[in-house]
Amino acid sequence: MLLIAAPGQGAQTPGFLREWLELPGFAERLGRASELAGCDLIRCGTTADAAEITDTAIAQPLLVAAAITAAAELFGGPGQADPPTSPAPFSSVAVAAGVGAAAGHSVGELAAGTIAGTLQESDAMRLVRVRGQAMARAAAAEATGMTAVLGGDEQAVLAAIEASGLTPANVNGAGQIVAAGTTDQLAAFAADPPPRARLRPLSVAGAFHTRHMEPAVDALREAAATVAVHSPVLALLSNRDGSVVRSGTDWLERIVTQVSAPVRWDLCMQTMASLGVTALIELPPAGTLTGLARRALPDVTVLALKSPADLAAARELLAASAGEAAAGPGAAARADARQDTHPDIHAPDWRLIVAPLAGTFRAGPPGGAPAGPGAAVSVGADLGRVEMRGGGHTISPAFPATIIEWLVEDGDPVTVGQPLLRLQPEGIE
């Protein structure tokens, strides 16, 4: 199976789209995205300096538009970045080209969802405009930032992050965790780093995927209510817990709440392994996710699509993947299944909710009794909290479901990614 990956904020570099804009149709499609994003993405991708494209309100639309437009060029062949008047659904083109799965890191999830057929390209650009602006406003409210922690013992690193009052905003696997919080907390963390770990401050505008971004959630939720979503045609992985998402409404709710919740790319890579992913192509600005995959998934063929010069090799990977899928056992059944759902046969019918950060688990809403096994819960229901020094995170489902079982009790200490409860989504027997 071949997976398409879309990078997140921080991957952009000045001028990374310069060569891409020489391709027929690329500038026209990026120009249409600029109108929806409210900024000149062509200039931002070519002549803008590093400071300008670090601005969250610019970086996020730039990354999503770049990934989607490069994917159109990759799947459709030369000149296809400029689509016909009535193009086939993006996902149909991706499936025909040999793609079986998609995943995005942070804001890259919007590009991945578009490729998987969950969201229209125009709606993705409308949402990322709101997302970027809302997160920029939240970041401006307080001096916050992020620091990559490279190496060291994972549990020791997570313990040190918690002790500093920080949040493990990105657990990327392959020995990379990103700590986020106030600049004072980050300074104290740098003064007493975890053993055998290297710290690298990141050039970002704020503490993304932490409680500091909670003001942005409402703005994105309001915008999300105006777009239509569909069930993904590809196996679409979620940053929340690495699971394969089956419904468009579930995916959209995850996109909204992920703004203030940690990104678990390590769990996404674990799912890639369980799905049997054999090849991964990272869309521009490529390099970050392929680097992580080389260390965590050594048996997977990876390709960073950094420039148009890489298109030929990427298309060879697509052709090989399409050939393997067509020749493999059950190919006809998989082809039929792709008409209305993604080809994943490994995803369980139940779902886990995991701890978004390390701390102490508190069951039930404040002042209320916790819901027990057999209880029906709605989207956003307050099922409990994970509390840590300096804040906490509410545990709530992104889909209507029935509680199967709790895996922790009130007062239990929990670690990042630890399963908390098992749910049966509504409509799945």
Q: What would the DSSP string read from start to end of 232-267?
A: -SSEEE-TTTSPEE--HHHHHHHHHHGGGS-B-HHH
Alpha carbons within 13 angstroms on the beta-carbon side of residue 166 total 33
Alpha carbons within 13 angstroms on the beta-carbon side of residue 212 total 29
332: tokens are 């006809």
CATH fold of the domain at 2-136+212-337: Malonyl-Coenzyme A Acyl Carrier Protein; domain 2 (3.40.366)
CA dist 68 and 125 (Å) reads: 10
pTM score, two decimals?
0.79
Residues in the chain: 429
3-state helix, strand, coil in the chain (%, to 5): 40, 20, 40
Q: What residues does CATH 2.40.50.100 cover in the chain?
A: 351-425
Taking only the tens of pLDDT, the chain with its 429 residues reads: 999 999 999 899 999 999 999 999 999 999 999 999 999 999 999 999 999 999 999 999 999 999 999 999 998 754 455 443 333 456 677 777 778 999 999 999 999 999 999 999 999 999 999 999 999 999 999 999 999 999 999 999 999 999 999 999 999 998 899 999 999 999 999 999 999 999 999 878 899 999 999 999 999 999 999 999 988 989 999 999 999 998 899 999 999 999 999 999 999 999 999 999 999 999 999 999 999 999 999 999 999 999 999 999 999 998 888 766 555 544 433 434 343 444 444 445 577 787 776 789 999 988 888 899 999 998 778 899 888 766 677 888 867 889 998 999 999 988 766 788 888 877 654
CA dist 395 and 377 (Å) reads: 12
Catalytic residue annotation: 106, 209
Q: What is the pLDDT of residue 79?
A: 47
The conformation of residue 355, written as its DSSP 8-state character, comes to: -
CA dist 241 and 348 (Å) reads: 13
234: tokens are 């590809």
417: tokens are 């990614």
CA dihedral for 252, 285, 10, 276, sign (positive or negative):
positive
Q: What residues does CATH 3.40.366.10 cover in the chain?
A: 2-136+212-337
Look up the CATH superfamily of 140-208: Malonyl-CoA ACP transacylase, ACP-binding (3.30.70.250)
18: tokens are 């310069």
Query: What angle in degrees, to the nearest 10, is found between the helix axes of 90-97 and 108-115?
Result: 80
CA dist 338 and 100 (Å) reads: 9
The conformation of residue 105, written as its DSSP 8-state character, comes to: S
- Identify whether the C-beta of residue 157 lies closer than 8 Å to the C-beta of residue 149: yes
Q: Are strands 384-388 and 391-395 parallel, antiparallel or unpaired?
A: antiparallel
* Cβ atoms < 10 Å from Cβ of 285: 23
Q: Which CATH number is 351-425's, of 2.40.50.100, 3.40.1360.10, 3.20.20.120, 3.40.50.1970? A: 2.40.50.100
Under DSSP, is residue 333 helix (H, G, I), strand (E, B) or coil?
helix
Which element (helix H / strand E) includes 385? strand 384-388
- Name 9's Cβ contacts closer than 8 Å, sequence gap at least 6: 56, 59, 60, 63, 106, 107, 204, 208
Q: What's the angle, vertex CA 116, arms to CA 110 and CA 121, rounded to 5?
A: 50
